[in-house]
């Protein structure tokens, strides 16, 4: 089985998360995408963050797809670090081919993640382009460190089958939606063509 792992605060979950998940299901030939609703991002202030169970319930209402599962796995295993989570999954589900999915804005600061090279050495990465961070991610420190393992976008359908490190940069229709924008606006932006 091929599973995409899509982590975040989901504060709140929105159509952009669903859009990225459907793109990943199709382009990466995945069987499922798991939304990993974090108890709190170590790189963000978590004051005022709604309880995880509320964010999970709201995320499930947005996901509305038989191949998207909403989980609170990080809290269940007692971590807030992606490196711990992917190591735990790889050890317990060795036959599942996992792919970590992130927006291109996250690649810009991926080198700040706890043990980012261990993450890249445990699961392949799929970086999905986002408005406002189209070219900058490819110049980011982490992108340079991982450059030799980047595969062409046309080969994205085999990413889950590759031994890590391996990664792909996916382009396509994107959305200006973000949880920050949804929290501060009454009329969220629409999906735009690339």
pLDDT at 149 over 90: yes
Give me the pLDDT at residue 188, please.
Answer: 46
Sign of CA dihedral 182, 101, 30, 59: negative
Angle at 16 between CA 192 and CA 85, to 5 degrees: 140
Sign of CA dihedral 2, 148, 128, 17: positive
What is the rounded average pLDDT of the residues 152-169? 98
Summarised one tens digit per residue, pLDDT across range 67-116 is 999 999 999 999 999 999 999 999 999 999 999 999 999 999 999 999 99
pLDDT tier, 46 (very low <50, low <70, confident <90, very high otherwise): low
Q: Considering the entire predicted model, what is its pTM?
A: 0.87
Give me the pLDDT at residue 14, please.
Answer: 95
HEC per residue, 88-101: HHHHHCCCCEEEEE
Summarised one tens digit per residue, pLDDT across range 7-17 is 999 999 999 99
How far is it, in rounded angstroms, from Cα 20 to Cα 16?
A: 6
Mean pLDDT of the chain: 89
pLDDT tier, 185 (very low <50, low <70, confident <90, very high otherwise): low
Q: Is the peptide bond before 19 cis (omega within 30 degrees of 0)?
A: no
How far is it, in rounded angstroms, from Cα 126 to Cα 146?
A: 12
pLDDT at 37 over 50: yes
Give me the pLDDT at residue 187, please.
Answer: 43
**Helix axes 52-63 and 15-27, enclosed angle (nearest 10):** 60
Angle at 33 between CA 29 and CA 38, to 5 degrees: 150
Q: Tell me how many helices (H) and strands (E) the chain has.
A: 8, 8
């Amino acid at each position: 089985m091929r599973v995409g792992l899509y982590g975040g605060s989901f504060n709140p979950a929105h159509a952009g998360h669903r859009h990225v998940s459907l793109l990943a299901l199709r382009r990466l030939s995945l069987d499922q995408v798991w939304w990993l609703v974090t108890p709190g991002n170590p790189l963000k202030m978590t004051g005022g963050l709604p309880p995880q169970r509320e964010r999970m319930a709201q995320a499930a209402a947005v996901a509305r797809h038989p191949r998207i599962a909403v989980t609170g796995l990080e809290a269940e295993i007692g971590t807030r670090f992606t490196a711990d989570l992917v190591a735990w999954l790889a050890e317990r589900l060795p036959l599942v081919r996992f792919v970590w999915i992130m927006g291109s804005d996250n690649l810009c600061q991926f080198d700040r993640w706890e043990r980012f090279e261990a993450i890249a050495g445990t699961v392949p990465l799929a970086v999905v382009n986002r408005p406002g961070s189209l070219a900058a991610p490819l110049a980011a420190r982490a992108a340079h460190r991982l450059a030799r393992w980047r595969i062409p976008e046309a080969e994205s359908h085999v990413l889950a089958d590759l031994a890590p490190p391996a990664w792909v940069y996916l382009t396509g229709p994107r959305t200006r939606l973000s949880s920050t924008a949804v929290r501060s606006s009454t009329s969220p932006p629409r999906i735009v063509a690339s």
